[in-house]
Structure 1
Amino acid sequence: MCAARRERSVFLALLPWPERVRVARALRTETVGGLVLLAAAVVALVWANTPWSGAYEQLRDAHFGIAALGLDLSVGHWTADGLLTVFFLVAGIELKRELVVGELRTPATAALPVVAALCGMAVPAGVYLATVGLGGGSTEGWAVPMATDIAFALAVLAVLSTHLPSALRAFLLTLAVVDDLGAILVIAVFFTSDLNPAALAGAVAGLAVFHLLQRFRVRGWWWYVPLGLVIWALMYNGGVHATVAGVAMGLILRTTPHEGEDASPGERTEHLLRPVSAGVAVPLFALFAAGVSVSGDALGAVFTQPEPLGVVLGLVLGKTVGIFAGTYLAARFTRARLNPDLAWADVFALAVLAGIGFTVALLIGELAFTDPAAAEHIKAAVLIGSLTAATVAALLIKRRNGVYRRLVEAENRDEDADGIPDVYQRAVLGDDGA
């Protein structure tokens, strides 16, 4: 019991073996997806700045769908409201798992990542508001620099060939999960228009049926897929951003297996949809959202107009200060002891890396700025801010990569070749691994 209390009091300590296996599996998929996302963003930028940019705009703005159901949308709109629903469904499942069996299940373990994430959302918003307040700009984009893009961040780590310890990667993942919840709450509360009570009531009724199917252990995709599509369409027509439907269904899915089940419905759904989310949905959204004209005027506007400048400063400075200060203060308040193998410089580097706010930042930017010219400037600001954060984080992380390599080698050493690292076997025998 004393050993357990001491282990919980260590911030960024060695993860329990089952948790490490789960995190490694999730981050492996997100890393591959992040590389695809990075490639899609590069293709979009190149395509939008070539003589064939007109074809890009025509494809992005081409409409299709069922007009009678209010679903005649452009390709870009379908990727933002349709495909990103899969991304938020996976995020909802991950959040539910964290709340039930993960880092967020108890106040003691949840305090650090939740405080860090909340500060990492509040401070960037404050930086944006201060910037536009001084420059006389619009406050509409306050939520743009709030979210961290875990896939893009992991892609940066993969490109750098870093050896970030699993505890740091897990902390980054938890930050992103809480960030995603904050982002969807912001979208649901602040970016709704022309509410249709009847359609919303239908969506709520559909979610109630979804919950009953879970409660009575009904299995079979033929129940859930049509119902999910109906809930999504009703949510969209109800005036609430359709991605809210994805998070709601993710939170309803059960994440603990019942007796006789190999895996819970949430685990099975996440296993099926995470590759689709990371490898298809998010990259396609990036392909049609990141096509920004990189002209001298556009780049100049990023640093001369208060709204895009606020986004850049929010991502680069606000995220770093918010997450690092929130983590440091929460650790002191909870009397948590930093893993002696790491330093606060490592937390600072992670805070800088969290300034990569690509996918959700682009989505909120599109919702906040309806004027095409203003939206283009915000997109450019998101790209520049994320690129700046990635570059600074890369320098900080590479500087410590020798330390990380030694820690990862120790974490993975398996001299008896039984598939379980030796450090976990020592922990079972009474050594806490420190």
Structure 2
Amino acid sequence: MARKLTFEFLRTEAASAGVLAAAAVAALIVANSPLAGDYFALLKSKHALALGPLSLTLSVSDWIKEGLMSLFFLVVGLEIKHEILRGELSDPRKLATPVIAALGGMIGPVVVYLTLSGVLGAPHAGWPIPVATDIAFALGVLALVGRGLPPSLRIFLLTLAIVDDLGAIVLIGALYSGGTDWTMAGAAAGMLAAIALAARLGKMPSPFWIIGFAAIWWCTVLSGLSTSLAAVAFAVIVPLKPRREDHQSPLQEAMHDLHPYNAFLVLPLFAFAKAGVSMAGLGMEQALAPLVIAIALGLFLGKQTGVLGAVWLVTKLRLGERPAGATWLELYGVSLLCGIGFTMSLFIGALAFPGQATDLQTEVKLGVLGGSVLSAIAAAVVLTFARRAKAAVPA
């Protein structure tokens, strides 16, 4: 069952990459068309959600970032829990290489960014932006050019990306949860504990899980904490044990039901809202600003160096092994894929510079798009060459 769920995840993520790319391209087109004014005005417009005496007002951009993206983090949390307890991360023998590679892939971009920040003068606050890998885009590119490559590379990339996401979530919680209303945070924690206890004592029908998640999310927004933390914490309490032997567990059912909506609705909407960059009045000075270069090279150089260097170190110290049947050139191609940081990098960028001038947000988007596109093209070239080189070798 664990392997079946893993490959279902892979297929969905690979298929959604095209939709995600289309949404990003559409955002760029609209942001540079006569509809640009309406596009940016819509994202800034505020809308209220009222439930009796309760009311919450956010901009469309924030409803997507804090609302819809909480479903993204819920799915990520469910995937992490499943992989740790039942999947690839449950086997210590398979853990060392991708986990250490993920850590290297987080350290490398930080080192590159901070180095360039010191040299070029980019804002230090942007250092977490190039840390994360976009699972959907990375797996999508691998699906396009990876036919004939060892299946172990896909599992390696998925495991690495899951650990990478966990690290990004920890960073978000540690860095972007200031100004907390502890009364509302306590209410969210209390409801989370009550639902966890109720789930252990008996079976809870789906509507209770949905209402519970919505209530915890609402309190988290009012508390000022990142909703990503609430979503992952909620995923932790979703039971992994099946209700009956012939049925999936609540966690597996939630993964199965939510993942398509996450992949084909939530992430494309986020991409459409966040990837729109207006080129009007954009000069070379801003296109090559220190922040743009630091983010782009953090993704492109930092990720490949950190991931490949960590794998080399692990194998050299005999702490782990290369993915079965994979060559070093193929691993280099996968390490380049890790430089695709689109979704999570844009999300962290919005948190790193909240309410900042438009030019800083534009530079964040340019840096993320530039580094991600460069990484994707380089990875496609390297993996295509590696596949052809392997095919040319006589059996």
Please give the range of the TM-score, normalised by the shorter of the 2 chains: over 0.9
Question: 1:341 aligned to 2:304?
Answer: no
Which residue is equivalent to 2:15? 32
Question: 1:360 aligned to 2:344?
Answer: yes
Which residue is equivalent to 1:10? none
Instruction: Give the conservation status (yes or no) of the 8 Å contact 1:163–1:404.
Output: no
Instruction: Give the conservation status (yes or no) of the 8 Å contact 1:121–1:147.
Output: yes
2-side partners of 1:339 and 1:187: how far apart? 30
Which residue is equivalent to 2:364? 378
Q: What whole-Å deviation, never above 9, does each CA across 1:54-108 have from its counterpart, x for those lacking one?
A: 1111221121123775621111111111111111111101111111122222543
Instruction: Give the conservation status (yes or no) of the 8 Å contact 1:20–1:166.
Output: no
CA distance change for structure 1 residues 70 and 164 in 2, over 3 Å: closer, same or farther? farther
Quote the offset at 1:301 in angstroms.
Answer: 2.0
Alignment map for 1:4-403 (pairs within 5 Å): 19-66=2-49, 69=54, 71-160=56-145, 162-257=147-242, 260-295=245-280, 297=282, 300-303=285-288, 305-338=289-322, 341-370=325-354, 371=356, 372-402=358-388
CA distance change for structure 1 residues 298 and 255 in 2, over 3 Å: closer, same or farther? farther
CA distance change for structure 1 residues 183 and 336 in 2, over 3 Å: closer, same or farther? closer
- Partner SS for 1:25: helix
Structure 1 runs of 4+ off > 6 angstroms? 403-406
**Structure 2 unmatched ranges of 5 or more:** none
Give the aligned residue type for 1:382: V
Quote the offset at 1:53 in angstroms.
Answer: 0.5
Bigger drift between 162-171 and 380-389 goes to 162-171
Instruction: Give the conservation status (yes or no) of the 8 Å contact 1:202–1:234.
Output: yes
Give the aligned residue type for 2:22: A
Superposition RMSD on alpha carbons, in Å?
Answer: 2.3
Give the aligned residue type for 2:302: G
TM-score (norm 2): 0.92
1-side partners of 2:323 and 2:271: how far apart? 37
Give the aligned residue type for 1:268: E
- Partner SS for 2:79: helix
CA distance change for structure 1 residues 160 and 136 in 2, over 3 Å: closer, same or farther? same
Quote the offset at 1:377 in angstroms.
Answer: 0.7
Instruction: Give the conservation status (yes or no) of the 8 Å contact 2:74–2:235.
Output: yes
CA distance change for structure 1 residues 225 and 291 in 2, over 3 Å: closer, same or farther? same
CA distance change for structure 1 residues 107 and 260 in 2, over 3 Å: closer, same or farther? closer
Bigger drift between 328-337 and 164-173 goes to 328-337
- Partner SS for 2:25: helix
CA distance change for structure 1 residues 398 and 294 in 2, over 3 Å: closer, same or farther? farther
2-side partners of 1:165 and 1:54: how far apart? 48
2-side partners of 1:196 and 1:82: how far apart? 19
2-side partners of 1:194 and 1:346: how far apart? 45
Give the aligned residue type for 1:134: V
Q: What whole-Å deviation, never above 9, does each CA across 1:302-321 have from its counterpart, x for those lacking one?
A: 42x22221101100000000
CA distance change for structure 1 residues 384 and 223 in 2, over 3 Å: closer, same or farther? same
Q: What whole-Å deviation, never above 9, does each CA across 1:101-123 have from its counterpart, x for those lacking one?
A: 22222543322111110110111
Instruction: Give the conservation status (yes or no) of the 8 Å contact 2:153–2:323.
Output: no
1-side partners of 2:177 and 2:390: how far apart? 44
2-side partners of 1:74 and 1:220: how far apart? 33
2-side partners of 1:157 and 1:138: how far apart? 33
Quote the offset at 1:385 in angstroms.
Answer: 0.6
Quote the offset at 1:160 in angstroms.
Answer: 4.3
TM-score (norm 1): 0.85
- Partner SS for 1:140: helix
2-side partners of 1:270 and 1:378: how far apart? 31
- Partner SS for 2:125: coil
Instruction: Give the conservation status (yes or no) of the 8 Å contact 2:2–2:86.
Output: no
1-side partners of 2:209 and 2:337: how far apart? 37
1-side partners of 2:154 and 2:178: how far apart? 37
Quote the offset at 1:282 in angstroms.
Answer: 0.6
- Partner SS for 1:104: helix
- Partner SS for 1:283: helix
- Partner SS for 1:201: helix
- Partner SS for 1:355: coil
Instruction: Give the number of equivalent residue pairs.
Output: 390
Aligned identity (percent) is 37
Which residue is equivalent to 1:423? none
**Structure 1 unmatched ranges of 5 or more:** 1-17, 411-434
